[in-house]
Structure 1
Amino acid sequence: MMPSESARAAALRARLEGAVVDHARFTGPPVDLSDWTPQELGLVWGALHRASGFGHDDPAHRELAATLLAQASSTNLAPLLAGEVFLDALDAARVHDWDYAIGCLACLHGTPPEGSAQLALRILDEPTHWGEQHFAVWLLAQLAGGDAPAQFAQMMDERHARYPMPLTLQELAVLPQLAQASLLALAGSRYSGHWNRDSIGEADPAEVLADDAAYVDFARTILEQAARHIAAVHDGSVPYAADAAFATADSPVLARAARVAAYRDDAWFRPVITVLLPLACVAPGAAKSAPSQSLAMALGHAVETIPTPESLLALRTALAQVRHAGIRKKLERNLKPAERALAERPDIAWRVGMPGPMGKRRQAMLARRLEAGYASDVRLRLDQWRALRDDADIDVVARALVWRTGDGLAFMLDGKGAIDAQGQPVELPEQGEIGLWHPLHGSGEQRAAWQALLTQRRWRQPLRQVYREIYEPPGDASAPFAGYQLSVRTLLGLARREGWRLDYDEGLSRQFGAWRVSLRIEGRVYPGAEGACTSNGLAPAQIMPMAPVAYSEACRAVDLLVSASALALVEEEQSVQRAERLFYLANLAPGPMAGMRRTVLEQVFAEQIEEGRMALEARHLTVGRHAIHLTTGRVTKDGAEVVIELVAMGNKLGAVPWLPHDEALLEKIAATAGVLLALHRVQPGC
């Protein structure tokens, strides 16, 4: 380590451990960790965590430490700990602070120094709570040595040995055979059990375990064992009792094993999951109970997280057979995200083709799977794409879509050949990759040409493609989709179905390809909440680094949330009366509310609609090629957003008690329509 690095680390440590400052504003110069080394960060790691904890009267030091820890996390800077530095860092852990202690072990360079055992014993404390995070406790017990491992084993035996198939104990027995990376993955994850799409931002330990031969063998053993057991329950060899086929604590073990097998896409897993998931959901005979609710739901999460074609088929089979209403509701939430996730695994996604009978429903499923690959820029090999078209339904869908080769050639199928946007024949390469064309892949002229071709030939696309809404990052510092009052109940219901995660600090989060996107929400937002909340838009840091298509698709998904749940614009002037009105509006059914809004606009613009200068659709008011969204007021032209400058609003629309919407939003829509009508008179082709 350079002397200058050691000096500034020592200076920061002295500052963190110094006397309490006289005034909160006397905090010293700002600290930037961006050019610090892991060794340097290790020197202050213990001091940072002591200062960030509660229990002392130094808010200035606590704020500084919290800021620096967040800075290190945002830049993925981890400390390097060894010798006395490791002991100092571990000493900062409080009793039962297992997450932090495991983090220190993950940063340990070399073997644990002498003195580690005593610190580990202090952190472990009494065995009363050891079962809460048993992987972390097991690892710390090994570090502590002495009687700690035996105490831990006895405690777990007392909890689990009474079950006929104690899978948790079987998993603990395999831990000594695992690599250190696998142990740290298990011990360091808060979601080592029911890890699912709500665990965005947390590493799935199964992804690391999938490379550990000892755990892979264990996963196969217990999954095949569980499949035989559940089959025996159904054939009567084992007496049936509701929710008694497996211990609730063992369901996460089987779900983790299923995720390991799915990550690897092992062939042995395919017949196992097609038996295990459907049979866990339905009781033998006609009862509406199930052999194991907890396993059914845990496997549903596993399929949603990392699906294979066979596990997705098993999920659909389970939904077709299940009679338990609670299980059905849970599994239905897993289905759509699982379909999207499978689309991001194009190497295996089409192995079993598309399940189900031939027809429009199957074609719609195919279209959804293709569309889900937009954000990740999913492509197929050209020979693989040609082979898929031997399926009649796939060929029907493929002929209605615009495709794009690896070198950027956009084409549609026409007869036995291919054509471009002008309808001219083109030659496809013999090799390469092919994926769906997105409007952002072409210029405005190319988009218009494809739109004109489809209109001319009256082709109907199975998904919105050539007229797809496109979104580009704003040129200023504004946050897209900010400034709306949203119905909490509608927002959360739709968000869960669409695969969003509720994060109480960040709002709603969802993964789009390699990027995590957050819609910031202000207000009391939690499952079961009522009333309205405020949309503060996308987090600014996520706008620029994203690939253009991924950003557009993320915005399109956010637009759906906002459009479905928006009920008013945010206004500077707030009042008790307006808050009460928003609460009332937020709890109205969205269908009648939107219908009334269309009725009002139909009355206001009756003459223009009758003359054909304007059209009122289900969700939009259209003027020429422009469309105004009836919920958000967003204006698009052929799918691309346009900005319409409005003059300063005059008097508000007259307060009408029966209007089920906010007058400010209606006024914005009406004023925008007026501007577009005037523009259309001047430029009839717009």
Structure 2
Amino acid sequence: MHLSPLAQRLLNLLTGTANDPTYWPDASRLSVGFVGLGGSPIPDGDGIPVPVRYALGEPARQVLVAPARELVGRLLEDGRRSDDPVLVVVAAGLAGMDAEVRARFAGERGPIAVAELDVLLGWDVERRSLFWEAVRPDGPPPPGLADWLGGLPGYPEFARTALETAAARVAAIQAGEIPYEAEKAFGSGEKAAIGRAVRLALRRDEPWLPGLLDTLVRGVAVAPTGAGTLPSQAVLFEIARAAEEHPTPEVVSALRAAGRATRHAGVPRQLARMLKRVEPALADRLEVAFRLPDGPVRQAVGEHTAVISADDEVELSWWHGDRKLKTVPVAVTREHPEEVGRLRELVKRTRQRATLVRALEAGCAGTSAPPYRLLEGHPITDRLIWEFEVSPGVWRAELGLTVPDVPVRLWHPARARAEEVRAWREVVRGEELRQPFKQAFREVYLLTPAEEASGVSSHRFAEQVVRYRRLRALFKERGWTSAFLGAWDGAELDGDARRVMAGGRWRARLSHHLYDEDHAITGEVGFDRLVEGGWRAAPLTDVPAPVFSEAMRDVDLFVAASGPSITARLQA
């Protein structure tokens, strides 16, 4: 039986098959697609009308009641479609069938998924439709999704409750209070809901999250029975994917601990691959990466002192007065077990100090000042060159965070004159400073006249033959993403590698194509600017000098380090 034309149009808009434009998050496809039925302003959460051009008015809603009821009935009959309850909830809002739909899904979905649906059922149709557009499983999430979720009525509260419920459930499984079944810790729809909750909490860097995540991640990673299975591999990897998007030092530590604890042979390898992407991403979250310690840490524990040193190798040592002990004192283990555990965790986090260095290095290319003042007092700042805005538009470079109460940014040689760069190199050499990353002596790539004239692309490193698998490894190492190229069905022979920079406001692109099974050829380098939630190609002359220099520095590394060997060149 076919749907009526209006019901089919409604289905097409909700599934995206209508190919209508998206104005997310300002207006939903639903409102835009039915604009001809009549519109009115959409009330916000406080009842104040928001002047959105495409908004369904009450007469339009009345016209859609019958088609929406028809569609809800069809969706509930279609088992495949009913797997997407949010889609049904949107149509139910138009049909006035919230109670029926809620009763149907309450018996089919897990409690956490039902709790999320309860939040959605408290929204109007426009919010439901925007939520569905954002979380549809057949497309990537839109930029800024976690921030948007944080502004929805009731959703932050749901996120915390959902994670508390999930952590309590796995704790009960580990304690034997709930019978263990492999991969059955969470019911239908709960993985996706937990993933959204984790993303929101990580993005907001909620102070209550680390403890919950520690319990949840460890709890889903290991069976309580000694088996090599997991309570929920799906939720473990969903949390790892969320960490790639919104990393914190604590979630990295929790995932590493899960990799060590699990008995499943393949999970540690998969987590290790994912963590290789998480740690570079942490470098773009300066405000949370700054929590990683730099330099020695001393902590009194009873009559003893714990010292975490981080000169070459990170080490936790125990002292009694001036005497270094060989092991943890028995009295400390017996009387302060929680403090010993906390210090051991701090050692793991200190081993991530390279992440802090990457965060500072990434800050060189930033177009706005990260919260560098949080680093005041860290020894690492004394070895770096900083710029201070001493008057509007006038920046002065100093060694160390020495000028208080004014805007500050990291000095980058691409912003400086040649004589200034030479002078700072003499200072660093003369004082024998060991900078945490190459700053004064950093390679600089400036725009050439040919590139200025070319418009939106640079061919400086084009037409270079490189070893493809080595190139892919370098992409991951430097925080670039790309699809795997290949000659099999469904694969592409050419593509772009991309790196998001400058706090998410710029994106570099390197085109490349497969030459043969083992080699690729590089193409042009271009840059995109984030404009109204979308990426737009930008002229090279508009790209900030540090952003351009850092991207070209990466591409130079790709070409130099993945080029064919001398032997291969001679044979060619």
Alignment of 1:300-339 (within 5 A): 300-339=240-279
The reply to whether residue 384 of structure 1 matches residue 405 of structure 2 is: no
- Which amino acid is 1:479 matched to? S
- Alpha-carbon spacing, 1:83–1:134, altered in 2? closer, same or farther (3 Å): closer
2-structure distance, mates of 1:53, 1:82: 14
Tell me which residue corresponds to 2:318. none
Cα offset for 1:121? 6.1
Q: Look up the SS of the partner of 1:550 in the other structure.
A: helix
2-structure distance, mates of 1:470, 1:273: 41
Q: What percent identity do the matched residue pairs reach?
A: 28
The reply to whether residue 660 of structure 1 matches residue 568 of structure 2 is: yes
- Alpha-carbon spacing, 1:457–1:283, altered in 2? closer, same or farther (3 Å): same
Which of the numbers 210, 216, 225 marks the counterpart of 1:276?
A: 216
Tell me which residue corresponds to 1:555. 552
- Which amino acid is 1:520 matched to? S
Which of the numbers 396, 403, 411 marks the counterpart of 2:398?
A: 411
- Alpha-carbon spacing, 1:438–1:270, altered in 2? closer, same or farther (3 Å): same
Pick the structure with more strand per residue: 2
Which of the numbers 440, 444, 447 marks the counterpart of 2:418?
A: 444
**Contact 1:192 1:205 (C-alpha < 8 Å) held by counterparts:** no
Q: Look up the SS of the partner of 1:464 in the other structure.
A: coil
Cα offset for 1:88? 10
**Contact 2:286 2:371 (C-alpha < 8 Å) held by counterparts:** no
Alignment of 1:461-540 (within 5 A): 461-473=435-447, 474-477=451-454, 478-480=457-459, 481-502=461-482, 507-512=496-501, 513=503, 514-523=505-514, 530-539=517-526
Tell me which residue corresponds to 1:369. 359
**Contact 1:344 1:378 (C-alpha < 8 Å) held by counterparts:** no
- Which amino acid is 1:86 matched to? G
1-structure distance, mates of 2:374, 2:17: 56
Tell me which residue corresponds to 2:200. 260
Cα offset for 1:116? 2.8
Q: Look up the SS of the partner of 1:332 in the other structure.
A: helix
- Which amino acid is 2:509 matched to? S
**Contact 1:377 1:435 (C-alpha < 8 Å) held by counterparts:** no
Q: TM-score, normalised by structure 2?
A: 0.68
2-structure distance, mates of 1:77, 1:117: 20
Number of aligned residue pairs: give it: 462
Which of the numbers 429, 432, 452 marks the counterpart of 2:406?
A: 432
Larger radius of gyration: 1
Q: Look up the SS of the partner of 1:661 in the other structure.
A: helix
Cα offset for 1:283? 3.3
1-structure distance, mates of 2:133, 2:436: 44
Cα offset for 1:107? 3.9
**Contact 1:403 1:412 (C-alpha < 8 Å) held by counterparts:** yes
2-structure distance, mates of 1:247, 1:84: 36
Cα offset for 1:187? 0.4
Q: Look up the SS of the partner of 2:383 in the other structure.
A: coil
- Alpha-carbon spacing, 1:79–1:181, altered in 2? closer, same or farther (3 Å): closer
**1:624-683 per-position Cα deviation (integer Å, ceiling 9, x unaligned):** xxxxxxxxxxxxxxxxxxxxxxxxxxxxxxxxxxx323778xxxxxxxxxxxxxxxxxxx
**1:598-620 per-position Cα deviation (integer Å, ceiling 9, x unaligned):** xxxxxxxxxxxxxxxxxxxxxxx
Q: Look up the SS of the partner of 1:509 in the other structure.
A: strand
- Alpha-carbon spacing, 1:352–1:234, altered in 2? closer, same or farther (3 Å): farther
Q: Look up the SS of the partner of 2:522 in the other structure.
A: strand
**Contact 2:90 2:125 (C-alpha < 8 Å) held by counterparts:** no
Q: TM-score, normalised by structure 1?
A: 0.58
Tell me which residue corresponds to 1:183. 128
Unpaired stretches in structure 1, ≥5 consecutive residues: 1-44, 55-65, 90-104, 390-394, 419-427, 568-593, 598-658, 665-686
Cα offset for 1:438? 1.4
- Which amino acid is 2:389 matched to? G
Q: Look up the SS of the partner of 2:409 in the other structure.
A: strand
Alignment of 1:96-115 (within 5 A): 107-108=54-55, 110-111=57-58, 112-115=60-63
2-structure distance, mates of 1:82, 1:381: 40
Tell me which residue corresponds to 2:534. none
User: Which structure ranks higher in relative contact order (CA pairs < 8 Å, sequence separation ≥ 6)?
Assistant: 2
- Which amino acid is 1:519 matched to? L
Tell me which residue corresponds to 1:610. none
Which of the numbers 159, 162, 165 marks the counterpart of 1:219?
A: 159
CA RMSD of aligned residues (A): 4.2
Alignment of 1:616-627 (within 5 A): none
2-structure distance, mates of 1:339, 1:293: 21
Tell me which residue corresponds to 1:143. 94
Alignment of 1:562-581 (within 5 A): 562-567=559-564
Cα offset for 1:445? 1.4
- Alpha-carbon spacing, 1:224–1:333, altered in 2? closer, same or farther (3 Å): same
Tell me which residue corresponds to 2:434. 460
2-structure distance, mates of 1:173, 1:167: 10
**1:481-507 per-position Cα deviation (integer Å, ceiling 9, x unaligned):** 322344443333443454433366962
1-structure distance, mates of 2:107, 2:191: 18
- Alpha-carbon spacing, 1:248–1:292, altered in 2? closer, same or farther (3 Å): farther
Unpaired stretches in structure 2, ≥5 consecutive residues: 1-8, 40-51, 298-307, 314-350, 484-491, 528-536
1-structure distance, mates of 2:495, 2:124: 35
2-structure distance, mates of 1:498, 1:153: 46
**Contact 1:500 1:509 (C-alpha < 8 Å) held by counterparts:** yes
1-structure distance, mates of 2:163, 2:30: 38
Tell me which residue corresponds to 2:231. 291
Cα offset for 1:301? 1.4
**1:380-439 per-position Cα deviation (integer Å, ceiling 9, x unaligned):** 66753323x2xxxxx1x33433222234222335xxxx9xxxxxxxxx323224332211
- Alpha-carbon spacing, 1:258–1:410, altered in 2? closer, same or farther (3 Å): same
**1:302-326 per-position Cα deviation (integer Å, ceiling 9, x unaligned):** 1221233433432343344444343
Q: Look up the SS of the partner of 2:376 in the other structure.
A: helix
**1:101-134 per-position Cα deviation (integer Å, ceiling 9, x unaligned):** xxxx994354435433455567775542323543
Tell me which residue corresponds to 1:236. 176
1-structure distance, mates of 2:309, 2:126: 47
Tell me which residue corresponds to 1:33. none
- Alpha-carbon spacing, 1:550–1:110, altered in 2? closer, same or farther (3 Å): farther
- Alpha-carbon spacing, 1:181–1:330, altered in 2? closer, same or farther (3 Å): farther
